[in-house]
């Protein structure tokens, strides 16, 4: 008999980590169960949009449902919106699970101060809470949750690497006179983009065969363009998607993301790994448990330009190390991170929740 599972997500046409996650996952979920996707948000300036979301959700709950899967982030907007969805679910005594994707450390403090009871009366009634970091798990446990946790990852859309040739990439690394470094993320100061520029400039004074491409959009894009306008070997590509994004990952050699933001588990890091790239990043949020220092690349201290420069230089001087790490990352991503693999994992968790395991 088919299980009826309702997965609640933001509008999948909008940008963001949760939308990207489910856009990649939903088509790959096992067809043996009936999966319904209820999308919320994306109303722009329509002040009645959130009210309509709650009203329409109430109608969804009148259907025959075996499990509801909520996907909030720990931030003011998503936290309250999804918490009131949880209240409706609890009122109807329906089973549900929760996956916290984004996690704001500032909002975490607000929950500490005044929303712990509200958290426990809503999300705290879930059968399972999925998290991207043990730090998030420990904090939720501190708030009083006594249920089951599952530490999960984000995922990589397998179609991105459908035509990717790892051997060709490494052949190009060995022959290439130019090593290409990539920063691809939302262009916020907290993501470490200006530290990346500074470290690259220091290296460019010693090595003429390197190039930095910065891709993405965000509130600090204009300032970034002004800062690097005279750097011939720094390319600001802006927002990229589709084949342009694939080409960037395919043609770049090192992925640099020295964030000091409260990260979950950035999809861009997983994508870089799937394209056989060593990664240089920081031990923030979900990266702390997931990322294997030395094997997947290198951890550097947040805002530590000197350390970032040294790790980049290490890879520049040792192409054999670049290839060794890239090979490991490619294999790891294919085994554990592709949407085809993650979909099977998530589906098994949902079925177990329905069966009370």
CATH topology identical between 4-155+338-354 and 158-336: yes
Mean predicted confidence (pLDDT) in 240-266 = 92
pLDDT at 15 over 80: no
φ, ψ of residue 65 to 5 degrees: the values are -130, 135
φ, ψ of residue 210 to 5 degrees: the values are -120, 155
Domain boundaries, the chain: 4-155+338-354, 158-336
Q: What is the structure's pLDDT at 137?
A: 96
Express each pLDDT in 102-111 by its tens digit: 898 899 999 9
Q: What is the structure's pLDDT at 44?
A: 75
Percentage with pLDDT > 90 across the chain? 83
pLDDT at 30 over 80: no
pLDDT at 219 over 80: yes
pLDDT at 206 over 90: yes
What is the 3 state secondary structure string of 300-347?
Answer: CCCCCHHHHHHHHHHHHHCHHHHHHHHHHHHHHHHHHCEHHHHHHHHH
CATH C-level class of 158-336: alpha beta
CATH C-level class of 4-155+338-354: alpha beta
Cβ neighbors of 183 (< 8 A, separation 6 or more) are 193, 196, 212, 213, 214, 215, 216, 255, 256, 257
Place of tokens 């230089």: 313
**CA 322/CA 140 separation, integer angstroms:** 38
pLDDT category of residue 176 using cuts at 50, 70 and 90: low
Cβ neighbors of 57 (< 8 A, separation 6 or more) are 8, 38, 40, 85, 88
Q: At 348, which helix (H) or strand (E)?
A: helix 339-354
Per-residue DSSP letters for 231-261?
-TTEEEEES--HHHHHHHHHH-SEEEE---S
What does DSSP assign to residue 164? Answer: -
Count of beta carbons in the 10 Å neighbourhood of residue 77: 12
pLDDT category of residue 336 using cuts at 50, 70 and 90: very high
pLDDT at 13 over 70: yes
Structure tokens of 201?
């400039």
Q: In what order do the strands lie in the sheet with 254-257?
A: 234-238, 210-215, 179-184, 254-257, 279-281, 297-299
**CA 267/CA 338 separation, integer angstroms:** 11
pLDDT at 357 over 80: no
Place of tokens 């009634």: 125
């Amino acid at each position: 008999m088919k299980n009826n599972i309702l997965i609640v997500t933001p509008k999948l046409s909008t940008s963001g980590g949760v939308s990207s996650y489910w856009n990649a996952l939903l088509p790959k979920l096992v067809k043996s169960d009936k999966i319904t996707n209820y999308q919320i948000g994306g109303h722009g300036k329509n002040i009645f949009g959130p009210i309509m979301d709650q009203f329409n959700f109430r109608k969804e709950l009148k259907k025959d449902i075996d499990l509801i899967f909520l996907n909030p982030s720990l931030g003011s907007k998503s936290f309250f919106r999804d918490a009131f969805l949880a209240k409706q679910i609890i009122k109807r005594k329906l089973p549900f699970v929760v996956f916290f994707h984004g996690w704001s450390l500032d909002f975490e403090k607000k929950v500490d101060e005044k929303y712990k009871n509200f958290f426990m009366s809503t999300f705290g009634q879930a059968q399972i809470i999925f998290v991207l970091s043990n730090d998030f798990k420990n904090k939720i446990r501190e708030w009083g949750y006594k249920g089951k946790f599952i530490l999960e990852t984000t995922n990589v859309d397998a179609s991105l690497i459908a035509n990717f040739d790892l051997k060709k990439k490494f052949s190009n690394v060995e022959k290439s006179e130019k090593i290409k470094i990539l920063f691809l993320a939302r262009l916020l100061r907290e993501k470490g983009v200006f530290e990346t520029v500074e470290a690259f400039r220091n290296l460019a004074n010693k090595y003429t065969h390197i190039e930095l491409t910065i891709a993405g959009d965000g509130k600090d894009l204009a300032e970034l363009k002004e800062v690097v306008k005279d750097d011939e070997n720094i390319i600001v590509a802006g927002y990229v998607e589709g084949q342009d994004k694939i080409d960037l990952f395919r043609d770049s050699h090192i992925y640099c993301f020295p964030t000091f933001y409260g990260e979950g588990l950035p999809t861009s890091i997983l994508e870089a790994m799937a394209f056989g790239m060593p990664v240089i990043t920081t031990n923030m949020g979900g990266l702390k448990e997931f990322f294997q220092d030395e094997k997947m690349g290198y951890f550097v201290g947040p805002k530590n330009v000197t350390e970032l420069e040294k790790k980049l230089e290490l890879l520049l001087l040792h192409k054999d190390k670049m290839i060794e790490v890239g090979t490991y990352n490619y294999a790891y991503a294919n085994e554990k991170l592709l949407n085809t693999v993650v979909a099977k994992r998530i589906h098994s968790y949902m079925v177990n929740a329905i069966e009370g395991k």
